[in-house]
Amino acid sequence: MEIIPIPTDSYTLGFIGAGKMAESIAKGAIRSGVLPPSRIRTAAHSNLSRRDAFESIGVTVLSSNEDVVRESNVVVFSVKPQLVKDVVLKLKPLLTKNKLLVSVAAGIKLKDLQEWAGHERFIRVMPNTPAAVGEAASVMSLGGAATEEDANLISQLFGSIGKIWKADDKYFDAITGLSGSGPAYIYLAIEALADGGVAAGLPRDLALSLASQTVLGAASMATQSGKHPGQLKDDVTSPGGTTIAGVHELEKAGFRGTLMNAVVAAAKRSRELS
């Protein structure tokens, strides 16, 4: 049976689960011009603040998930992971193969999604919380019947909230440990840099502002310069200078090994939870 392509210029997008991730994606799509609000739908049952969040950006809020599915070419499951199975099963009769199904639920495998939906036109995406500021690190894995055009559509949609890469579903526990959980490690780092600044004599406000902006700048160099982070570090560590003195402290304490441990532990926990 031939897969009917999703019409790229006129497709409608529906969110099952009107949470923060759905809101971030909707806002990103609207802000970047990928979709106008009129082509986005969701349902919010009793929660008025979630209804308001979507209506205030022009998105249509319907009364039921069934209505959302009926009106959408692309259906995104953005409910909490523990609810995905029941929601997909309940909607199954409406989830025809001419709809592209997407899940952003952490820890829910593509093979399970496809089994519950009864078909393989599914794309799984693992975004992360900086979607809220349009700087997500997302990865997608493609179901058996997802077409190249489907993948491009999802690339464009998630490209409006950050960057997106493709990978095999088997990598998603490790991805969870790195990009899923990674922001928290950096929040700790920012707080610690600020505390270090205060220990060195800075007023708190200045220390925190500098810490955040410094991390932002360094990451911008990493994403834009095309250079390896080891090379970037070499470029800024002048002989006997302040920077290599700071780096020495990090190396002495196994800073890098500690971060590796965090990623590995989070990936392991992801496997345990699945």
Nearer to a second copy, 91 or 140 (CB): 140
Which of the stretches 24-32, 53-61, 85-93, 173-181 binds a second copy when contact is defined by CB under 8 A? 173-181
Given 7, 58, 144, 246, the residue binding a second copy (CB under 8 A): 246
Shortest approach of a second copy to residue 114 CB, angstroms? 22
For residue 228 the two structure tokens come to 């390896």
For residue 199 the two structure tokens come to 């220990």
Q: List binders of a second copy among 58-97 (CB under 8 A).
A: none
CA dist 244 and 235 (Å) reads 11
Q: Is 267 in the site for a second copy (CB under 8 A)?
A: yes
- Residue 165, number of CB atoms within 10 A of its CB: 12
Which of the stretches 4-12, 29-37, 151-159, 234-242 binds a second copy when contact is defined by CB under 8 A? 234-242
For residue 16 the two structure tokens come to 């099952």
Q: Is 181 in the site for a second copy (CB under 8 A)?
A: yes
Q: Is 174 in the site for a second copy (CB under 8 A)?
A: yes
CA dist 269 and 274 (Å) reads 9
Q: Is 38 in the site for a second copy (CB under 8 A)?
A: no
Given 62, 94, 151, 189, the residue binding a second copy (CB under 8 A): 189
**Contact string (CB under 8 A) for a second copy, positions 109-138, x = contact:** -------------------xxx-xxxxxx-
Shortest approach of a second copy to residue 121 CB, angstroms? 24
Which of the stretches 22-30, 56-64, 68-76, 261-269 binds a second copy when contact is defined by CB under 8 A? 261-269
Which of the stretches 5-13, 29-37, 85-93, 183-191 binds a second copy when contact is defined by CB under 8 A? 183-191
Q: Is 263 in the site for a second copy (CB under 8 A)?
A: yes
Given 55, 66, 112, 195, the residue binding a second copy (CB under 8 A): 195
Region class of 75: left (phi > 0), else alpha (psi between -120 and 50), else beta: beta
Nearer to a second copy, 89 or 245 (CB): 245
